[in-house]
Structure 1
Amino acid sequence: MPFQSTLPFDAAADVADALARLLDVPTRAGHWDELRDATGALRAPWRRFFGLLGVDGVAGLEPAAAAIARQIRDNDITYNVYADNGEPRPWALDLLPFIVDENEWATIERGVAQRARLLEALIADIYGAQTVLARGLLPAALVFGHPGYLRPMKGCLPPGGRYLQIVAVDLARGPAGEWTVMGHRTQAPSGLGYALENRLIVSSLFAQPFRALGVQRLAPSYSQLIATLAQAARTTMTDDERQARAGSPHIALLSPGPFSETYFEHAFLSRYLGLTLVEGSDLTVRGDKLYLKTLAGLERVHGLLRRLDDSFCDPVELRAESSIGVPGLLEVMRAGNVVVSNAPGAGVVESAALHGFLPKIAEALFGEPLALPSVASWWCGEAAVREDAFARLTDAWLAPTWAGLPHPASSDMPPGLAAGPQRLADWRARIEQAPDAFTIQAPLPYSCAPRYEDGTLSHRPCALRVYAIAGASGSWHVLPGAFTRMAGDRQTSVSMQSGGSSVDTWVLSSRPGSTFSLLPTPMKPGDFAYRRRTVSSRAAENLFWAGRYSERAENSVRLARLILGSLDSHDSEEMLATLVELAARFELIGAAEPAARPTRHAFERALVAGLHEHSGTASIGRIIASQARACGEIRARLSNDHWRTILAARNDFRDALHALSLVPPSNARGEEAGQGERYDSYDRVALMNALETLAMQLSAISGAQGDRMVRDEAWRLLFAGRHIERVIGMTTLLRVVADAGVLATPAGFDLLLQLFDSTLTYRSLYPGRLEVPALIDLVVVDPTNPRGLYGVYERLAKKLDEIAAAAGGAVRRPFGEAMPPVSSLPTLERLCSTDAAGRYATLAALCDELASHVAAASNEISSRYFSHADNPLAARLST
């Protein structure tokens, strides 16, 4: 294969030899080859890329691909596919970029900006004067019959006068090298976050070629987006708000939630753009204004970057069954009190049928032809057009006219582009039953881009999603890159759900990069006064539970290590009942196990079987997975090292259990025949090592929580969560050991010290002595012990009152007044006393009382700050 380069001849030949050693699968017949021209020579951008990469770079492609997989795993980049039963799928990112030269990009840029301008004008007309319909440029049935046409939006002019701030245009290159528009995305275009994450990863692996080729930066486009949203949102602010917030509106990103397929992108974009990540339940409408429920009460929201489809935005006026929208949102929009990007109703122009009408609309509105052609399309709602398509084509794509929304008259929807070309004759009868629901499109073989995998260069069909961002005075800025997707193995069209992958897109340039700034004017010292972090109620709840899960994980791991390490000791039979009871109380085994009084072997088997996150118990695996999910919601508050440690704890423990074959197959139901045997012959030493590693990682997480997080009112909630869980854990441990009657035995004594992480402290204070009063003093009364029960309880009460003071709002009885002070709790002398049966009754009663107090406090925190609802349990604190 010929290889040309600007490198010296010998160097170019060496690179060509290195490429030749890769197994090269030919491009599919009839598809444009993005890598090579008709002679087999590398196209100019790829010659430069591989020339800069050099022989060592070509030889290092395999380690680079492995590095991508590690980064995706370490950064927890996921894509939720509904067919995967809720399990997030690791993001699929290819190693090699998709390269577009400067001249070619100029054509794309001009065409995409024109499309965005045209779609904005068309939406404004559809929901405004409707002159396009009156002039017959667009069939009325295609608009009014569209389920995505939102009648409540008729006549609603958004603040700032624009319906669209982001437009995505899907492009594919045909067999002759021509770029063709395949679709438009105007509701809530996805991919912006993934495109940026792809860039961060791939550009770091190819840093030298990235710089030398002058690849255009993406960051200015994201700054442009925020500037555009902020400019429009400022028009909804009152004079007092402008002064209090130094002219900076509150903008949030509205997500369907963690079960959305692109939720990772929502969280990533909110962090990168500095927006508050919210769900519909986080927002409320009061007096025709939109508010966010926060730790300090309700806070006005001036702008929303939404990631909900149109019909789900407002259950009052749109889909009544929507549980992810905001009741009353459209009324706030009509009042001009919030900017929603993009405006609901924009999905009407996503229709595949629109392709056939856009050329004449462009001529009528702008007096100019389309710079980029659309895929040849025929809307079957017009009989003559439908017959023309049948006469022209034997095979074609059958696209739904309604862009994913079912039409009431059609029970047999078009299969869509992902299904590939269909024989029209087979579909004729069904098309004639509901013709307006079908749009016929001519097949277009997508160009094939190079893909490296396992020492092989293959070539897959690809498509680009290019984004236009609204600018000032009606202008449009095109992001100099794209969210490029490749088809899966043996697929003809691109689909991430069907096994496709994504590619970083490099747009080459000879010009210096943009210096666009997000800040319209330099900020002055006084402008920072308002910039107290907004803590949404959901973020506060996740902080609280992050603290609880962290403490719960440490307690569970410590207990599991102690149990597994003591099963072979000489006193294991004596302590077996106590260990079983502790394991059951901490839900490391099923609730039925203690009643059955299992043998030591059966107990060990149940404990090991319950470690993984799908075991059906509140397992260690489930706790650390829940911790990762809660922390993912507050990612912006965590340092990179903190977040990576959380992910490493979850991922490493998962991997360890899989390596030890302690996770049953995903299709196994319960303990089917042969499934339980895996727990009889496991490697206990390896498992103990995995638990030890996890314990160290959890300690690092605890340290990061105390040392690397901003100590505001939200952090206090994390602190409170940890201490509530610590009180519950410690009282449970004390209660079980005291009730079992082993507190005064050497084994029980040692057990409690280990579980309270106080063994070394006790031995240094009382070497060689086994004294119950000294034990109770250290683990209950001593205020200097970080795991002393009284000290933990007292610090918790103080922190709860600090949270209440910082949050403000209605005056309510302080938490501390409903929680008895430490001075009123039993003294050491009383705690050490026993009844006639030898039970430590006062100690047991103390455990019950403190557990009850912190449980009530936890419920009050939830009702006061998370749900903002009255709670019967609050009466205890408010009367």
Structure 2
Amino acid sequence: MNHDAPDSLFDELSPESPGDWALSLSVPADEGHRDELRQPPSAGGEGGGGLSAPWASFFEHIGADGFAELNRRSENLQRQIRDNGVTYNVYADASGQERPWALDLFPMIVPPQDWARIEAGVMQRTRLLNAMMADLYGERELLKQALLPAALVQGHPGYLRSMQGVRPPGDTWLHIVAFDLAHGPDGRWWVVGQRTQAPSGLGYLLENRIAISRQFPKAFAGMKVQRLAASYRALMDGIKAMAPEGENARIALLTPGPYNETYFEHAYLARYLGLTLVEGHDLTVRDQRLYLKTLSGLEPVHALIKRLDDEWLDPLELRSDSRLGVPGLLQVLRAGNLLLANAPGSAPLESSALLGFLPAISRHLLGEELALPSLATWWCGESAALREVLPLLKDSVIKPTYPSSGLETAMGQCLNPRELNEWSGRMARHPDDYTVQSWMPLSQTPTWSGERLMPRSAILRVFALADGPQSWRVLPGGLVRLAPRGQLMASMQRGGSSADCWVQTEGLVDHTSLLQSAPSTLALAHQKRPVTSRAAENLFWLGRYTERAENSIRLAQIALNHLAGEEPSSRPLMAWLSAAARENSLVLPDVPGAEQSARVFARSLMAGLSPEPGTPLAGQTYSVGFNLRALKAAAAQVRERLSQEHWNLIERTEAEFAHDCADMATDAEYGTAEALAALQNASELLAAITGAQTDRMVRDNGWRLLSVGRHIERLITLSRALALGLEHHCVHDPAGFEALVALFDSTITFHALYQQRRDMVALIDLLVMDRDNPRSLAWVVQTLRSRLAKLSLSAMPQDAALAMDLPDPDTWVLADLSNWQRAPDGQRSWAELAELLDDCEASAGALSEDITRLHFSHADRGNQSLGA
């Protein structure tokens, strides 16, 4: 941003008030578009041009000095979005799967009089759509009386015959409905479209509100902007009131998973509303009831808020290739044992073609004229409509009748004569597939460009939320989507951005907060979050990959430091380093050992630290980079259970290490120093990740399994490393002895206790026997037994039996483990110690398999296990 530009503009201008400042820095809206910033001209075309009342109030609250702060506030806003990890998958963005959520600094402001009209119109349309659902899956009077063409309903791929005759709880089909509204040049609000299957935006608009209100706290408070929390609470209360179990209902939020473009919102909403975030394979159907797979067994689910379209819900009755839904879910619904928000089957209501038929349907079902008008819409399946609309294509928008058809939306103004003729031909050949809607210039709201207030076209998405049986309220706000400057379409999937929506009220501002509520003891007990089998498995592997990454980094650092040293290292140490590096997949199996060629071994180790996916090395070596990517993948599966700082650390560690290794790969002169610097940075970040896992996570069974995973990995790695040290006799070498102690991360402790002693008794005492050393084998086994004991109390009693299969440190005797014999090659050997190390390694591997069998394997094959 150009921070000097506003100051230079301020120097050139000398307005008398904040409103004058705003006008002097603003660019007028494009011709034909309503300017939200300025007063509209009078009916006679006179007057106007000054600030509208809401914006005059806004700038009065930030003051003239506030303009100099706009760039700083904009930077703070972007930093907050990045720190909070707010992301959205933009299909048009080829740079990667995710990008930070795009949020403008200025809100869109809706005055009370406008909002009253919007609220009344949205409430009416919600009642109408719910009544239509009841009719379409009930008596079908709308079809019998030709108020709706059958092709738009029964011919729609989203019409679900399996829902015919179903009556949802409370006769409420639609619990969350979204309407896209445009503010026309005439000052009226027009309905452009509606979303009923799984409307997105409720989480993003909440994040927008929190972020923008922090940037302008005085304006937010002084302008009496209505709050949002009461509407979210009403939604939850309404679902509980209608769910089969009433107030005691368990509610879950069903997500397609972390690769969905709006997954951030799913996790955010689940956390905000206190719901369990589940994927399809977390759920199972038994005896026409829905259950959640948890560590403690199957727990009933009574209400489900879905965030995926209907066709994916049940592979038995809908799309057979769906891996996102739950087999048998529709049967549970038909049996009346589940509230599903929204009820399946509403896809036909999302068709743009429906808008043209709603006025007559409203008169028939409600006996009312629509309070909010729709843009003129023609379904081309009617021959008269097709003939009427073909000459109007240049000033219209061509839309697919069935959104799932894959057809694109086309703006008539952007088509040349040849393209218009081609579209006319397609529509004539397949008229049912096309709907035409008149084009209206969208109102333009001010945005901050860094130097000026620039107008951008806006669409406002407003939500109606069910607060009881056949009762709704309109959320006082919405999600504003902004079109890129100079474009006609406001779409987040096409690279648009968003803005907050401030709805002003003339009454009292509601100060309800879901973040500050104090539920009763009973409610607290009920809200205790279950640990799903999927989450448990991914937490388990999150722990294993965190530990595995730490160990591989430490071993790589030890190896490179010794290989780069000025003094040649001993052969036993080189042999141990080679064997340990191969065991931990730091080098390929056929690479010559360090004792044969230190240079080749070092270059191979550095080349394999983080091979790019798709390269030959990437499929053969599971080095540091692989472990960090696996750590991130496991964390992504349980992102809703991690603090934002924890997730940011994981992303940063993987990204920075990959970047450092990519830089090394393109630099022919890179050496050990650069590799060690990259490893050190990753090591420090991993230490922070370990701290987040230790001190920033609730000590539930999910965390216990994460800890069990870490300590299983630690027991396997350290037992094997010490066994290799005995096998290659590096324990007799001073440098080898120090390298082993360093791998156990116990150098400072060892020298504090034993000074310069380098005998096996001291080594075994600290690295095997010492229960105060978190890197000793006894401490690891003791911790594993403790974690399994607590798991057995709250999850599976069998965990206590698993603990008994681990070696018992109480039976370990230092004198016996330190006893050595002379081997045939003349070297000393510690048979009892070697046997214990083999037992530790084998029992840790067996424990991992037993935990998988006991806690995870009952999940079906769709379960996304990240273990390797």
Same structural fold, with TM-score higher than 0.5 when normalized by the shorter chain: yes
3-state SS of 2:285 partner: strand
Tell me, yes or no, if structure 1 residue 289 matches structure 2 residue 285.
no
The 8 Å contact of residues 418 and 493 in structure 1, kept in 2 or not, is answered as no
Change (3 A) 1:585 1:471: same
Change (3 A) 1:613 1:350: same
* Counterpart amino acid of residue 431 in structure 1: M
Structure 2 Cα separation of the partners of residues 656 and 545 of structure 1? 20
3-state SS of 1:471 partner: strand
Structure 2 Cα separation of the partners of residues 215 and 199 of structure 1? 11
Change (3 A) 1:346 1:729: same
3-state SS of 1:357 partner: helix
Moved more, 712-721 or 126-135: 712-721
3-state SS of 2:88 partner: strand
Q: Match for residue 849 of structure 1?
A: 839
Tell me, yes or no, if structure 1 residue 462 matches structure 2 residue 458.
yes
Structure 2 Cα separation of the partners of residues 839 and 378 of structure 1? 91
* Counterpart amino acid of residue 141 in structure 1: A
Q: CA deviation at 1:792?
A: 0.7
Q: Match for residue 698 of structure 1?
A: 686
Q: CA deviation at 1:832?
A: 5.6
Q: Match for residue 866 of structure 1?
A: 856
Change (3 A) 1:522 1:720: closer
State the identity %: 44
Which residue of the other structure, out of 747, 772, 775, is the alignment partner of 1:784? 772
Q: CA deviation at 1:867?
A: 2.9
Q: How does 1:267-282 map to 2 (within 5 A)?
A: 267-282=267-282
Tell me, yes or no, if structure 1 residue 488 matches structure 2 residue 484.
yes
The 8 Å contact of residues 765 and 814 in structure 2, kept in 1 or not, is answered as no
3-state SS of 2:494 partner: coil
Tell me, yes or no, if structure 1 residue 181 matches structure 2 residue 182.
no
Structure 2 Cα separation of the partners of residues 798 and 171 of structure 1? 58
Structure 1 unaligned segments of length 5 or more: list them.
1-9, 407-412, 665-674, 872-879
Q: Match for residue 29 of structure 1?
A: 31
Tell me, yes or no, if structure 1 residue 265 matches structure 2 residue 265.
yes
The 8 Å contact of residues 442 and 458 in structure 2, kept in 1 or not, is answered as yes
The 8 Å contact of residues 587 and 604 in structure 2, kept in 1 or not, is answered as no
Superposed CA offset, 1:87-141 (max 9, x none): 3222111121111111111111111111111111111110111111111111112
3-state SS of 2:35 partner: coil
Tell me, yes or no, if structure 1 residue 746 matches structure 2 residue 750.
no
Superposed CA offset, 1:186-235 (max 9, x none): 000011111111111111111111111111111111111111111111xx
CA RMSD of aligned residues (A): 3.2
Question: Structure 1-normalised TM-score?
Answer: 0.87
Which residue of the other structure, out of 79, 85, 93, is the alignment partner of 1:76? 85
Tell me, yes or no, if structure 1 residue 540 matches structure 2 residue 536.
yes
Q: Match for residue 409 of structure 2?
A: 415
Structure 1 Cα separation of the partners of residues 488 and 591 of structure 2? 54
Structure 1 Cα separation of the partners of residues 521 and 563 of structure 2? 63
Structure 2 Cα separation of the partners of residues 677 and 223 of structure 1? 54
* Counterpart amino acid of residue 187 in structure 1: Q
Question: Structure 2-normalised TM-score?
Answer: 0.88
Tell me, yes or no, if structure 1 residue 256 matches structure 2 residue 256.
yes
Change (3 A) 1:499 1:828: farther
3-state SS of 2:662 partner: coil
Q: CA deviation at 1:523?
A: 6.4
How many aligned residue pairs are there? Answer: 827
Change (3 A) 1:479 1:608: farther
Q: Match for residue 317 of structure 1?
A: 317
The 8 Å contact of residues 302 and 338 in structure 1, kept in 2 or not, is answered as yes
Change (3 A) 1:549 1:70: farther
Q: CA deviation at 1:344?
A: 0.8
Structure 2 Cα separation of the partners of residues 176 and 749 of structure 1? 84
The 8 Å contact of residues 769 and 809 in structure 2, kept in 1 or not, is answered as no
3-state SS of 2:488 partner: coil
Change (3 A) 1:524 1:46: closer
Q: CA deviation at 1:455?
A: 2.7
Q: CA deviation at 1:624?
A: 4.2
3-state SS of 1:441 partner: strand
Q: Match for residue 211 of structure 2?
A: 201
The 8 Å contact of residues 203 and 210 in structure 1, kept in 2 or not, is answered as yes
Change (3 A) 1:779 1:812: closer
3-state SS of 1:432 partner: helix
Moved more, 734-743 or 211-220: 734-743
Tell me, yes or no, if structure 1 residue 586 matches structure 2 residue 584.
yes
Q: Match for residue 360 of structure 1?
A: 360
Change (3 A) 1:316 1:763: same
Tell me, yes or no, if structure 1 residue 802 matches structure 2 residue 798.
no
The 8 Å contact of residues 121 and 371 in structure 2, kept in 1 or not, is answered as yes
Q: CA deviation at 1:85?
A: 8.3
Change (3 A) 1:37 1:527: closer
Q: Match for residue 817 of structure 1?
A: 804
Q: CA deviation at 1:274?
A: 0.8
Superposed CA offset, 1:505-564 (max 9, x none): 111123212366889x99665565545432211222233223223322332333344444
The 8 Å contact of residues 12 and 51 in structure 1, kept in 2 or not, is answered as no
Q: CA deviation at 1:648?
A: 3.2
Structure 1 Cα separation of the partners of residues 277 and 175 of structure 2? 19
Structure 2 Cα separation of the partners of residues 572 and 375 of structure 1? 81
Structure 2 Cα separation of the partners of residues 168 and 113 of structure 1? 11
Q: How does 1:78-477 map to 2 (within 5 A)?
A: 78-81=87-90, 84=94, 87-233=97-243, 236-237=244-245, 247-405=247-405, 413-415=407-409, 424-477=420-473
Tell me, yes or no, if structure 1 residue 732 matches structure 2 residue 727.
no
* Counterpart amino acid of residue 680 in structure 1: E
Q: How does 1:432-831 map to 2 (within 5 A)?
A: 432-514=428-510, 525=521, 528-571=524-567, 573-574=569-570, 575=573, 578-590=576-588, 593=591, 599-600=598-599, 603-604=602-603, 606-607=605-606, 610-611=609-610, 616=618, 618-624=622-628, 626-631=630-635, 633-634=637-638, 637-638=641-642, 640=643, 643-648=644-649, 650-651=651-652, 654-655=655-656, 658=659, 662-663=661-662, 676-678=665-667, 680-681=669-670, 684=673, 691-692=679-680, 694-808=682-796, 814-823=801-810, 829-830=816-817
The 8 Å contact of residues 398 and 421 in structure 1, kept in 2 or not, is answered as no
Change (3 A) 1:636 1:403: closer
Q: CA deviation at 1:431?
A: 1.6
Change (3 A) 1:529 1:599: closer
Which residue of the other structure, out of 15, 18, 21, is the alignment partner of 1:15? 18
Structure 2 Cα separation of the partners of residues 350 and 265 of structure 1? 21
Q: Match for residue 670 of structure 1?
A: none
The 8 Å contact of residues 593 and 601 in structure 2, kept in 1 or not, is answered as no
Moved more, 421-430 or 107-116: 421-430
* Counterpart amino acid of residue 137 in structure 1: L
Structure 1 Cα separation of the partners of residues 182 and 414 of structure 2? 15
* Counterpart amino acid of residue 863 in structure 1: R
The 8 Å contact of residues 807 and 840 in structure 2, kept in 1 or not, is answered as no
Structure 2 unaligned segments of length 5 or more: list them.
1-12, 41-47, 862-868
3-state SS of 2:233 partner: helix
* Counterpart amino acid of residue 713 in structure 1: N
* Counterpart amino acid of residue 484 in structure 2: G
The 8 Å contact of residues 288 and 332 in structure 1, kept in 2 or not, is answered as yes
Superposed CA offset, 1:53-103 (max 9, x none): 123321122122222222222221111345658732221111211111111
Superposed CA offset, 1:566-602 (max 9, x none): 4432346545554454444334455554579765377
Structure 2 Cα separation of the partners of residues 122 and 100 of structure 1? 30
The 8 Å contact of residues 400 and 409 in structure 2, kept in 1 or not, is answered as yes
